[in-house]
Amino acid sequence: MKSYSIGIDIGGTNTGFGLVDEKGNIISTTSISTKDFDIVENYLDEIVKHIILLIERCEDKSLLKGVGIGAPNGNYYNGTIEHAPNLKFHGIIPVKEYIETKLKGKGYDLKVTLTNDANAAAIGEMIYGGAKGIKNFIMITLGTGVGSGIVVDGKVVYGFDGFAGEVGHTIVQPEGRMCGCGRRGCVETYSSVTGLRKTALELINNTKTKSSLREICQENIGGKAIYNAAINGDKLALKCFEITAKMLAIGMANAVAVTSPEKIFLFGGLTKAGDLLMNPLKKYFEESLFVVFQNKIDLEISHLDENTAAILGAAALTY
Amino acid sequence: MKSYSIGIDIGGTNTGFGLVDEKGNIISTTSISTKDFDIVENYLDEIVKHIILLIERCEDKSLLKGVGIGAPNGNYYNGTIEHAPNLKFHGIIPVKEYIETKLKGKGYDLKVTLTNDANAAAIGEMIYGGAKGIKNFIMITLGTGVGSGIVVDGKVVYGFDGFAGEVGHTIVQPEGRMCGCGRRGCVETYSSVTGLRKTALELINNTKTKSSLREICQENIGGKAIYNAAINGDKLALKCFEITAKMLAIGMANAVAVTSPEKIFLFGGLTKAGDLLMNPLKKYFEESLFVVFQNKIDLEISHLDENTAAILGAAALTY
């Protein structure tokens, strides 16, 4: 039967909204600038306005299933955003409760569901993407940070307190590089876009490997510059992707040993590197796997369009 | 209502059988020597004989719920033992099917359920032990190897192919010590009884730390000798427990980041070391945890009696 959901993707820079049908078609979108708001209530009130805007654009409001929100540090159990480092709003924000109450006050009785962005991406992959019909898989999101959504037996694993799925903050090099989380050697500190950049700077400063990247001002060395150099066969840039892949591979292999998935999907900015990332990743992943899992687990780049995936994933939360 | 199960613990040396009531009381036991059998069919036929022996000892056969088996490399989905390194029987053994068929041939229509020993221990803890009412926990078994059973939302995680729960074979030191599985730096190669012994030999041979263990023939250095030395304040022996604890702590913290449990239970030979293991383990575990999990997760030694836990866990498989 025809049905609609509203999906909201909360990011540090922008917040995107989409009215989505049950097949994953985005009927209408809108967006606001997250960073323009200093007071959380003003931000949430603006979100409510845009939800109502989309409700009004829905041809039959009785077919609306609800509102789904994907957010950094989103807690599914509580419907809260908790201590998100990339948002201006600090502490614990009761997003679900606030929005539901405001909507009700305006005569809209809609359920709001919230989870973290990587879990939303996993659900999006399961409902609309490459994980249709797959009961056990892992979604890895490679952006500024490394996130993950773990699906076991067809359900996202939230665990005791709603924070399960942090493959990015598993330790793969105990005495290794400092991570933003305060510990050493997490996957994220190597295998995020930020980590790739750190690796490039380390190799530039600590090795004598020739590289076109040495000609660029260090401030301008980012994912794109490293990608462009690597595509042209630059050895230092290729080494950056190799290190990124190796650390991620160990983290993924360790997560496999815990939950035994059928597939792992990769999503986000770094996947644009294509084979530059995927070739060393597949090699190191197989090498890092416990024998009972070897040659069994497919690695795939997400089937979802990066521009709309977060909204789709959030919308899929209402199912 | 009163009910009974038969629990079977398959080990490399012995196979134990127990008739268990719904409260976890063991009504009757028997055992055979696993290593006396070279031909797998003879071994399975003997198991069938002992199952029937216990059925006959049950006051009311209509109250029997089934047979549960915990086994090394046991696959829950297929009811098979697959390539178990500590058994004489090689390849894939269709244990469930063989036993069910033989029992049926003798007029006993009982369902057989099989899983690996660490999963059986987790189920035992959940039904009869300290994990009653706990929906998300991890069971770590510390013996010759390191096994684990992962419970999410009240169910053991088996994953795609039935082999989930291998925290012992997660990599915590990529360039580290060789593991029996062929890779380097797994938890098992440090934090099993075998790993503890390897650590002691390494420290004896590669450091000058004074130790009473240097007076013992290296062949006799095992868990007990290291424990005795540590209890007497021997620095080298204490260092062994510290390294064991540190590597296990990282593996556990990484598993926590994946599934977010409420508690972790520890089971098996090494837990007899008590505070010698648990004090450094608690310290390193907290240090290794991602911030959202810190100071939330209890570490507890299993509430089950080690002598009967495996049989109880296996019996609980029938629930």
Query: Tell me, what's the pLDDT at B84?
Result: 85
Supply the CATH classification number for the domain B134-302.
Answer: 3.30.420.40
Query: What is the CATH topology of the domain spanning A4-122+308-316?
Result: Nucleotidyltransferase; domain 5 (3.30.420)
pLDDT per position as a tens digit, A205-246: 999 999 999 999 999 999 999 999 999 999 999 999 999 999
Contact B229, B200 (CB under 8 A): no
Asked if the Cβ–Cβ distance from A258 to B164 is below 8 Å, we say yes
Three-state DSSP class for residue A58:
coil
Query: Tell me, what's the pLDDT at B86?
Result: 80
CA–CA gap between residue A159 and residue B153 (Å, rounded)? 7
* Domain boundaries along the sequence of chain B: 4-123+308-316, 134-302
Query: Tell me, what's the pLDDT at B310?
Result: 87
Query: Tell me, what's the pLDDT at A306?
Result: 82
The CA–CA distances, whole Å, from A146 to A70, A117, A135, A304, B286 equal 15, 11, 22, 18, 22
Taking CA–CA distances from B166, the nearest residue in chain A reads: A257
| List of chain B residues whose C-beta atoms are within 8 Å of the C-beta of residue A290 | 166, 169, 181, 183, 186
pLDDT band at B85; cut points 50, 70, 90: confident
- What are A35-43's contacts with CB under 8 Å, separation 24+? A35/A88, A37/A88, A38/A88, A40/A89, A40/A93, A41/A98, A43/A89
| List of chain B residues whose C-beta atoms are within 8 Å of the C-beta of residue A288 | 171, 183
Query: Tell me, what's the pLDDT at A144?
Result: 87
Asked if the Cβ–Cβ distance from A135 to B160 is below 8 Å, we say yes
pLDDT per position as a tens digit, A245-275: 999 999 999 999 999 999 999 999 999 999 9
CA–CA gap between residue A121 and residue B48 (Å, rounded)? 49
Supply the CATH classification number for the domain B4-123+308-316.
Answer: 3.30.420.40
Point out the residue among A258, A287, A291 whose CB comes nearest to the CB of B259. A258
Continuous segment of H or E residues that includes residue B300: strand B298-301
The CA–CA distances, whole Å, from A160 to A163, A244, B136, B291 equal 8, 31, 6, 15
Query: Tell me, what's the pLDDT at B111?
Result: 97
pLDDT for residue B51 is more than 80: yes
Point out the residue among A136, A169, A257 whose CB comes nearest to the CB of B169. A257
pLDDT for residue A49 is more than 90: yes
State chain B's mean pLDDT as an integer: 95
The single-letter code of the amino acid at A124 is G
Average pLDDT over residues B214-225: 95
Contact B172, A174 (CB under 8 A): yes
CA–CA gap between residue A193 and residue B280 (Å, rounded)? 35
pLDDT band at B144; cut points 50, 70, 90: confident
pLDDT for residue A113 is more than 80: yes
pLDDT for residue B1 is more than 90: no
Query: B86-90, B157-161, B252-256, B300-304: which range is least confident on average?
Result: B86-90
Query: Tell me, what's the pLDDT at A40?
Result: 96
Asked if the Cβ–Cβ distance from B152 to A162 is below 8 Å, we say no
Strand order, beta sheet including A14-21 = A26-33, A14-21, A4-10, A64-71, A112-116
Q: Is B71 left (phi over 0), alpha (psi -120 to 50) or beta?
A: beta
Contact B196, B223 (CB under 8 A): yes
Query: Tell me, what's the pLDDT at B308?
Result: 86
Contact A73, A81 (CB under 8 A): yes
Tokens of B252: 């556990």
pLDDT for residue A308 is more than 90: no
Continuous segment of H or E residues that includes residue B122: helix B117-128
| List of chain B residues whose C-beta atoms are within 8 Å of the C-beta of residue A155 | 153
Three-state DSSP class for residue B50:
helix
Asked if the Cβ–Cβ distance from B259 to A169 is below 8 Å, we say no
Query: Tell me, what's the pLDDT at B113?
Result: 97
pLDDT per position as a tens digit, B245-301: 999 999 999 999 999 999 999 999 999 999 999 999 999 999 999 999 999 999 999
The CA–CA distances, whole Å, from A64 to A21, A169, A253, A311 equal 9, 37, 40, 16
pLDDT band at B12; cut points 50, 70, 90: confident
**Residue given tokens 């190796």 in the structure block:** A246
pLDDT for residue A166 is more than 80: yes
Check: complex ipTM more than 0.90: yes
Q: Let me know if domain A133-302 sits in CATH 3.40.640.10.
A: no
Q: Do domains B4-123+308-316 and B134-302 have the same CATH topology?
A: yes
Give chain A's radius of gyration (CA, Å). Answer: 20
Query: Tell me, what's the pLDDT at B309?
Result: 87
Query: Tell me, what's the pLDDT at B243?
Result: 98
Angle between helices B306-316 and B117-128 (to 10 degrees): 90
End-to-end Cα separation, chain A, in angstroms: 13
Query: Tell me, what's the pLDDT at B83?
Result: 86
Three-state DSSP class for residue A5:
strand
Average pLDDT over residues A6-17: 94
Closest CA of chain B from A105, distance in Å = 34
Continuous segment of H or E residues that includes residue A32: strand A26-33
pLDDT band at A85; cut points 50, 70, 90: confident
Asked if the Cβ–Cβ distance from A260 to B169 is below 8 Å, we say no
State chain A's mean pLDDT as an integer: 95
pLDDT band at A86; cut points 50, 70, 90: confident
